[in-house]
Amino acid sequence: MNSVMATHSPYFLELEMTRFVANGEIAHALEVMGHINTFKRATLASDPTRSLKNSLICNCTFLARAAISGGVPSEIAFAKSDELIYIMEEADEHTLKGLEREHLIEFVTIVKNHNTAGFSKPIKDVISYITKNLSEELSLSVLASVSGHNANYLSTIFRKETGIKLSEYITARRVEDAKFLLCHTDMQLSEIANHYRFSSQSHFTQRFSKHTGMTPFIYRKSLGGIRNGK
């Protein structure tokens, strides 16, 4: 079934959206939304405006649950969902068309704020820098400069506040980011490994397997993304 006839996007795209919202990754979440919106929206009422509202309500509920899976307390996520649905009900058709993107940004922002709420400013700054520069050099000296502290002190407080070593955090974030390229591009594994500064394709495969329980090749196949598996 092609994108003109389909009324529901592939399930793997919903899984991807859930993961990116839960991880607070707005750029990738917006890109997945763009892919989802290439499929014809389901008709949920005879009146077009009512149908669109119903669709956005479903999406809002989905985003709330994705935020909860990212660690946001359910009462906060559902309160935001209720607030957005109320606003949506009062909106005209023209306004409705821009709300889906706004809702996504709202929930991702809630996740990001919640996930770093208990961290000190230096750690928040380091995490923000890592998120924006996953394909760049992320040496301890570079991150120490970002934090405003020396390398040893940064390593100590990062592990104390986050519960994970700085190097392990960087690897985990790179693996999560690599999932997007595996699913949505035809980049070869060696290219992805190089992009995220793994020492080799085998090193990338080893670290990816440790974090996900499957190889990059199997992951790419399992979600029905690019099928050449290179």
Q: Could you report the per-residue pLDDT of 66-108, keeping only the tens digit for each?
A: 999 888 888 889 999 999 999 899 888 888 888 999 999 999 9
Dig out the tokens for 138 from the structure. Answer: 């992320």
Q: For 210-219, give one letter per residue: b (16+ CB within 10 A) or e.
A: ebbeeebeeb
Higher pLDDT among residues 200 and 6, named by residue: 200
pLDDT tens-digit readout, 149-161: 999 999 999 999 9
What are the tens digits of pLDDT across the range 166-190?
999 999 999 988 988 888 888 999 9
**In the prediction, which pLDDT does 131 show?**
87
Kindly tell me if the per-residue pLDDT of 6 is higher than 80. no
Q: What does the mean pLDDT of the chain come to?
A: 89
Tokens of 146: 């970002």
Q: What is the largest CA-CA distance in the chain?
A: 63
pLDDT of residue 8: 67
pLDDT score of 11: 81
DSSP string, 82-146: HHHHHHHHT--HHHHTTHHHHHHHHHHHHHHHHHTTTS-HHHHHHHHHHHHTTTS---HHHHHHH
Q: Interior CA angle at 177 toward 100 and 2, to 5°?
A: 55
For residue 52, pLDDT beyond 50: yes
User: In terms of Cα–Cα distance, which of 33, 29, 40 is closest to 7?
Assistant: 40
Taking the C-alpha atoms of residue 230 and residue 214, their distance in angstroms, rounded to an integer, is: 15
User: What pLDDT does residue 228 have?
Assistant: 41
Q: Would you say residue 215 has pLDDT above 90? A: yes
Residues ≥6 apart with Cβ < 8 Å to 19: 176, 179
Mean pLDDT of 119-139: 93
Could you give the 3-state DSSP secondary structure of residue 6? coil
